[in-house]
Chain A
Amino acid sequence: MLVRNVTMQGHKDHGKSTLIGSILMLTNSVSQARIEEAKKYSQKLGKPFEPAFILDSFEEEREGGLTIDTTRAEASYKGVAFELIDVPGHEELIKNMMSGASFADIAILLVSAKPDEGIRDQTKRHVFVARMLGINSIIVAINKMDSVEYKKEVYDKLVNEINSFFKNINFSGSVRFVPISAYNGENIKEKSEKMGWYKGKPLLEELFFLSKKKDKPKIKDLRAVVQGFIEEENKKLISARVLSGCLRKGTISVYPNGIKRKALNLIVNGKKVAKACENDTVAIELDAPLNEARGLVISSSSKPIITKKINALVFSTIKLGNNSKISIRLLGKEFAAKKLSINEVIDASNGLHKKGNFIKPLDAGRVAIDLGDYVAVEKYSELKGMGRFTFYSGSKFGGVGIIE
């Protein structure tokens, strides 16, 4: 079955967990026992039935009415398995949101139509980050339409507002808009009769449509990132993950140093193979040992970018200035940044340039980082897996970056 990872995005209380609960019930993807348990618990808390409780399992989540950490549930629709990733909307929990959303191909952005809710900074920040995490398709679900009597004007106004934000951040992927009521199940599986003015498809149909798209890396040549030695003592046996192209037996180049080796044997999932292609994790038997393995890049024809210094767009969860000491995790390896220069500060809640020489938490910016060592990388737009990184301040998570 085709599996697609779909992350919820949006401000807290705009209905992310409720929408998943609703989808699970409408597609018969959750057991009656789990629904009963959620019902029982809603009752215990003196609340009307809360579909979000199908997802929110922690005591603190249910009592507090918020999602703390990311979780997943599966729904199948028309032969596609949608792995629905719930994430917390609260801004302090953004690292949990990012952990969940980093697996997704598609995002459903929840925006509440309630007059006092609407498009919030956090809503836009989630979109800003989603794009950096690898998401190309976004469904904007204007939720809680029941609270505004399913009025077209409310929907249109929000759609315009979000569209101008997408323009600000140069979002080039697919965007679809659907008015829904997650709680009442309106426009989720069937077209809602309450919104006859809406000419598009219900949410699950839009999801189905987007599930058929799959972005391919722009680089067609072989790039494989080395994971490490398979046995510490045998330095001729390495493991690598192929990100683009195919690896065949014979001469390979190992970067950043450009050392030549011969691949004598290739083993994928326990079987000897003639070639290993995109997404394979391959065991490679080399003709001669390597001194080190982790974070190296294997190529056969064209050369990756070899550099000590990277230019990147970052989204930061910490304060980041020219003097910040950070470490970069790139290609599974860690680099203590020798020098960090903030070249531009960007307000992640509107995508616009901002004055100043430091990036404050939950904002973005363009930076130059001196890694102190040569690495083989690619631009994120060319090959995601070789152009993205996370950074830390000590052991504290600091954010994500993409190489431009």
Chain B
Amino acid sequence: MIEQNLKELEERSIFILREAKSKFKNVAALWSMGKDSTTMLALARKAFLGKVPFPVIHIDNGIDFPETYKFRDDLTKKWNLDLIVAKSEIKPEISGFSCCGSNKTEALKKIMKEYKFDALIVSIRRDEHGIRAKERVFSARDKNFRWNYKNQAAELWDDYSSKIDTAGHVRVHPLLDWNEIDIWRYIKKERIPVNPLYFSRNGFRYRSLGCTHCTVPVKSNAKTIDDIIKELKNTDTEERAGREQDKEKEYVMQKLRAFGYM
């Protein structure tokens, strides 16, 4: 896995976060308590001189790991975060597409409407998935959260805030250019707190974190950040291999994203 220049990545993300804040009236961020969205919050603290100036939304279906809830509450206190918990219902068929798709998206829709957010910061990365690689940094969603991927707005150079025609909201992707390994190197460098589930216990660790029903751990003995970085340098499997929804059918990710999933 390719390691990029952290200072350049950091600079770009700070620039994007400030663009989002100055362009939109009512910004919020999604926080899954995973490594990526927590890194994004650390970057926001740098961009806005020590504080996160927007609310962070946890879409909570009630079946996240206990470690995840504890991590959320500890960091909310430590970083003085404005946390919004969006409760999502658990429907009987809770796996893959329906678990992460309809349940979570519905809860998010409700919150976005209630608070009238016009921009949502989402910590996706291009290297996670072929579909995510196609994203823009500023990406419009219509009223119904749909992503018109067939006709995305032009986005040249660093003019991220170019004209976006939407009656809905805009997704802002400050981490789009980062690789998985960059995230871990940055976490190490900046001593960013991480969810303990990423580290190996009994020969397994979570490489990508969703809820308890749709994520499975991968075989790993990586007990420290250095171990993880070493492991990633030599791996040939995909980061989201432990995510059920990505594998169900072809184009599931495309459909999830088109309907408003992150």
Most buried by A among B14, B19, B48, B179: B14
A241 CA to B149 CA, complexed, in Å = 30
Contact of A397 among B3, B133, B154 (CB under 8 A): B154
Interface positions of B from 1 to 51, Cβ below 8 Å from A:
2-5, 7-8, 10-11, 14-15, 18-19, 22, 45-49
**Contact B163 A332, beta carbon cutoff 8 Å:** no
**Contact A269 B157, beta carbon cutoff 8 Å:** no
**Contact B19 A3, beta carbon cutoff 8 Å:** no
Across the interface, which residues of A come within 8 angstroms of B5, CB to CB? 1, 3
**Contact A59 B19, beta carbon cutoff 8 Å:** no
Most buried by B among A31, A59, A71, A269: A269
**Contact A31 B237, beta carbon cutoff 8 Å:** yes
**Contact A34 B238, beta carbon cutoff 8 Å:** yes
Across the interface, which residues of A come within 8 angstroms of B153, CB to CB? 397
Which stretch from A93-101, A144-152, A338-346 is at the chain B interface?
A93-101
**Contact A99 B154, beta carbon cutoff 8 Å:** yes
A153 CA to B163 CA, complexed, in Å = 48
Q: Given contacts A72-B126, A81-B4, is CB(A59)–CB(B251) below 8 Å?
A: yes
Distance between B27 CB and nearest chain A CB, rounded to angstroms: 12
Residue of A nearest to B127 (CB): A74
- B107-133 toward A: CB 8 Å interface, digit per residue (1/0)? 000000000000000000011011101
Contact of B254 among A57, A230, A329, A388 (CB under 8 A): A57
**Contact B157 A227, beta carbon cutoff 8 Å:** no
Q: Given contacts A33-B237, A58-B149, is CB(A229)–CB(B154) below 8 Å?
A: no
Across the interface, which residues of B come within 8 angstroms of A283, CB to CB? 49
A385 CA to B15 CA, complexed, in Å = 15
Contact of A390 among B18, B129, B162, B238 (CB under 8 A): B162
- Whether, in the assembled complex, A68 has its beta carbon less than 8 Å from a beta carbon of chain B, the answer is yes
- Whether, in the assembled complex, B236 has its beta carbon less than 8 Å from a beta carbon of chain A, the answer is yes
- Whether, in the assembled complex, A323 has its beta carbon less than 8 Å from a beta carbon of chain B, the answer is no
**Contact B46 A270, beta carbon cutoff 8 Å:** yes
- Whether, in the assembled complex, B53 has its beta carbon less than 8 Å from a beta carbon of chain A, the answer is yes
Q: Which 5 pairs of residues, A with B, have the shortest CB-CB distance?
A: A57-B130, A270-B46, A228-B22, A102-B156, A397-B154
Interface positions of A from 43 to 95, Cβ below 8 Å from B:
55, 57-60, 68-74, 76, 81, 95
Most buried by B among A134, A332, A400: A332
Number of residues on chain B facing chain A (CB within 8 A): 49
**Contact A71 B48, beta carbon cutoff 8 Å:** no
Question: What residues of chain B have their CB less than 8 Å away from a CB belonging to chain A?
Answer: 2-5, 7-8, 10-11, 14-15, 18-19, 22, 45-49, 53, 126-127, 129-131, 133-134, 136, 149-150, 152-159, 161-163, 165, 179, 236-238, 241, 250-251, 254
A392 CA to B163 CA, complexed, in Å = 8
Main secondary structure of the interface of A (DSSP, over half): mixed
- Whether, in the assembled complex, A239 has its beta carbon less than 8 Å from a beta carbon of chain B, the answer is yes
- Whether, in the assembled complex, A41 has its beta carbon less than 8 Å from a beta carbon of chain B, the answer is yes
Across the interface, which residues of B come within 8 angstroms of A58, CB to CB? 131, 134, 149, 251, 254
Distance between B216 CB and nearest chain A CB, rounded to angstroms: 16
- Whether, in the assembled complex, A32 has its beta carbon less than 8 Å from a beta carbon of chain B, the answer is yes
Across the interface, which residues of B come within 8 angstroms of A69, CB to CB? 134, 149-150, 152
Residue contacts A-B, CB under 8 angstroms, 30 given = A1-B2, A3-B5, A31-B237, A33-B237, A57-B134, A58-B251, A69-B134, A70-B134, A71-B126, A71-B130, A71-B133, A71-B134, A72-B126, A74-B127, A76-B2, A99-B136, A99-B156, A102-B155, A103-B157, A133-B156, A227-B22, A229-B22, A230-B49, A237-B49, A269-B14, A270-B49, A280-B11, A294-B22, A390-B154, A390-B159
Across the interface, which residues of B come within 8 angstroms of A99, CB to CB? 136, 152, 154-156
**Contact A241 B15, beta carbon cutoff 8 Å:** yes
**Contact B11 A281, beta carbon cutoff 8 Å:** yes
Most buried by A among B8, B155, B238: B155
A390 CA to B161 CA, complexed, in Å = 12
- Whether, in the assembled complex, A193 has its beta carbon less than 8 Å from a beta carbon of chain B, the answer is no
Most buried by A among B48, B130, B154: B154
**Contact B18 A239, beta carbon cutoff 8 Å:** yes
**Contact B14 A281, beta carbon cutoff 8 Å:** yes
- A352-394 toward B: CB 8 Å interface, digit per residue (1/0)? 0000000000000000000000000000000001001010100
A69 CA to B237 CA, complexed, in Å = 26
A95 CA to B153 CA, complexed, in Å = 8
Extra contacts besides A99-B152, A99-B155, A102-B155 (12): CB < 8 Å: A1-B5, A3-B2, A33-B237, A58-B254, A76-B2, A96-B152, A134-B157, A230-B49, A239-B18, A269-B10, A332-B159, A395-B163
A98 CA to B22 CA, complexed, in Å = 25
A392 CA to B129 CA, complexed, in Å = 32
Contact of A1 among B4, B14, B22, B159 (CB under 8 A): B4
- A262-291 toward B: CB 8 Å interface, digit per residue (1/0)? 000001111000000001110100000000
A73 CA to B179 CA, complexed, in Å = 11
**Contact A227 B18, beta carbon cutoff 8 Å:** yes
**Contact A329 B162, beta carbon cutoff 8 Å:** yes
A61 CA to B87 CA, complexed, in Å = 36
Distance between B144 CB and nearest chain A CB, rounded to angstroms: 19
- Whether, in the assembled complex, A231 has its beta carbon less than 8 Å from a beta carbon of chain B, the answer is yes
**Contact A98 B238, beta carbon cutoff 8 Å:** no
**Contact A332 B238, beta carbon cutoff 8 Å:** no
**Contact A230 B150, beta carbon cutoff 8 Å:** no
Residue of A nearest to B46 (CB): A270
Contact of B150 among A29, A41, A60, A74 (CB under 8 A): A60
Across the interface, which residues of A come within 8 angstroms of B179, CB to CB? 74
